[in-house]
């Protein structure tokens, strides 16, 4: 698994160079009806920033909706792996917030948190930021993506950054609703989202965990769930959306089965043992996989994030 991940990563890096060369050659041709109008499409509604954080600089992409803010301000959706997902989320927000009475995507602010550079994912930085220190000695989990510099351990500092200086900076620049702060992450980001809920439950009002990697560190989070759930405040008011694909890893069915079972078990435990004010929705996406989950659920996550507080998720599992 480690060797295959390294090989696929090297192939992607290699094709990145060829891809840029293909684009450059396509731009200079002048023997047909096409004339180059630039080297890249720019999303005019996405405002980029750079922020200094605990593990270095972060690329912050802010998208305003197509409609004015409600009286209390915009709800804010903090989306992890921002480089990979800002485009799809921004387009979904702009299209649907214009007609929010029909789409049920009410005007919201999307803050996509990523890393400097052109890569969709910074594997080393995200492993450090999204994961706490590990206890397992297994090589595949100690060296997160098959490389020794992909180390965990920065989750608590990253959560401090999201809920402290970044949140404050966003609130100084935009009309936001402090009561509707939402966190969404995928894979290791989904693990981080659940880790935030279970260790600092008042950090956000809503949590969307997509394909959470609950297997990490030999199932550390499900293993710790009993005492973490018991420690949740009795008066907690929060909404949780857990989404997994029916076939997370088609080439590794045993991992798919574990991810499905882990998500279902944790959702059931939170419903059964968690505070009455914690509303849980567990969704299994038929016909989808680990990589297709985020683009499939952009609209669902936006509806979840922007819904009035009186209409959080119910606890019914969807197929």
Indicate if 5 and 97 belong to the same structural domain.
no
Indicate if 31 and 137 belong to the same structural domain.
no
Indicate if 114 and 220 belong to the same structural domain.
yes
Residues tagged active-site? 187, 248, 290
Indicate if 71 and 144 belong to the same structural domain.
yes
* C-alpha span between 293 and 4 (Å, rounded): 22
Indicate if 235 and 270 belong to the same structural domain.
yes
* C-alpha span between 60 and 115 (Å, rounded): 8
* C-alpha span between 235 and 230 (Å, rounded): 13
- What pLDDT does residue 6 have? 54
Query: Half-sphere exposure of residue 19, counting CA atoms within 13 Å on the CB side?
Result: 9
- What pLDDT does residue 318 have? 44
Indicate if 85 and 133 belong to the same structural domain.
yes
**Dihedral angle at the C-alpha atoms of 272, 278, 282, 283, nearest 10 degrees?**
160
Judge contact between 186 and 80, C-beta under 8 A: yes
Q: Which residues of 182-196 are buried (b: 16+ CB within 10 A; e: fewer)?
A: bbbbbbbbbbbbbbb
> Whole domain around residue 230: which residue ranges?
42-311
Indicate if 36 and 50 belong to the same structural domain.
no
Which one, of 118, 140, 102, 164, lies nearest residue 13 by Cα?
118
- Residues in Cβ contact with 101 at an 8 Å cutoff, skipping those fewer than 6 apart: none
* C-alpha span between 22 and 189 (Å, rounded): 33
Indicate if 267 and 286 belong to the same structural domain.
yes
- What pLDDT does residue 200 have? 97
Residue 317 lies in a domain: no
Residue 318 lies in a domain: no
Into how many domains does the chain fold? 2
Q: What angle do CA 51, 54, 57 make, to 5 degrees?
A: 35
Indicate if 29 and 84 belong to the same structural domain.
no
Residue 161 lies in a domain: yes
Indicate if 65 and 1 belong to the same structural domain.
no
- What pLDDT does residue 132 have? 93
Indicate if 22 and 78 belong to the same structural domain.
no
Judge contact between 200 and 159, C-beta under 8 A: yes
- What pLDDT does residue 147 have? 56
Could you tell me the pTM of the whole model? 0.87
- What pLDDT does residue 291 have? 93
Indicate if 131 and 4 belong to the same structural domain.
no
The residues of the chain scoring below 70 in pLDDT are: 1-14, 39-41, 136-150, 311-319
* C-alpha span between 139 and 162 (Å, rounded): 30
């Amino acid at each position: 698994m480690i060797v295959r991940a390294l090989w696929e990563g090297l192939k992607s890096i290699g094709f990145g160079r060829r891809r840029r060369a293909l684009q450059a050659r396509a731009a200079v041709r002048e023997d047909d009806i096409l004339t180059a109008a630039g080297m890249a499409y720019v999303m005019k509604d996405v405002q980029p920033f750079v922020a200094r954080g605990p593990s270095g600089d972060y690329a912050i992409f802010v998208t305003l909706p197509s409609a004015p803010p409600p009286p209390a301000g915009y709800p804010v959706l903090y989306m992890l792996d921002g480089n990979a997902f800002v485009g799809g989320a921004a387009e979904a927000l702009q299209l649907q917030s214009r007609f929010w009475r029909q789409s049920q995507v009410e005007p919201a602010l999307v803050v996509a948190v990523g890393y400097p550079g052109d890569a969709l994912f910074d594997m080393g930085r995200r492993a450090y930021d999204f994961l706490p220190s590990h206890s397992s000695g297994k090589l595949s989990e100690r060296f997160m993506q098959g490389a020794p510099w992909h180390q965990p351990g920065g989750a608590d500092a990253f959560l401090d950054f999201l809920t402290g200086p970044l949140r404050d900076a966003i609130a100084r620049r935009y009309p936001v609703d402090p009561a509707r702060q939402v966190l969404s992450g995928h894979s290791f980001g989904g693990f981080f989202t659940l880790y935030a809920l279970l260790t600092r439950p008042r950090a956000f009002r809503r949590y969307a965990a997509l394909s959470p990697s609950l297997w990490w560190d030999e199932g550390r989070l499900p293993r710790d769930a009993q005492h973490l759930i018991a420690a949740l405040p009795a008066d907690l008011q929060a909404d949780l959306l857990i989404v997994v694909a029916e076939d997370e890893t088609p080439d590794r069915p045993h991992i798919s089965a574990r991810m499905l079972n882990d998500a279902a078990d944790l959702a059931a435990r939170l419903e059964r043992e968690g505070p009455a004010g914690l509303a849980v929705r567990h969704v299994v996406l038929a016909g989808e996989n680990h990589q297709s989950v985020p683009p499939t659920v952009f609209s669902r996550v936006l509806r979840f994030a922007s819904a009035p507080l009186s209409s959080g998720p119910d606890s019914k599992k969807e197929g």
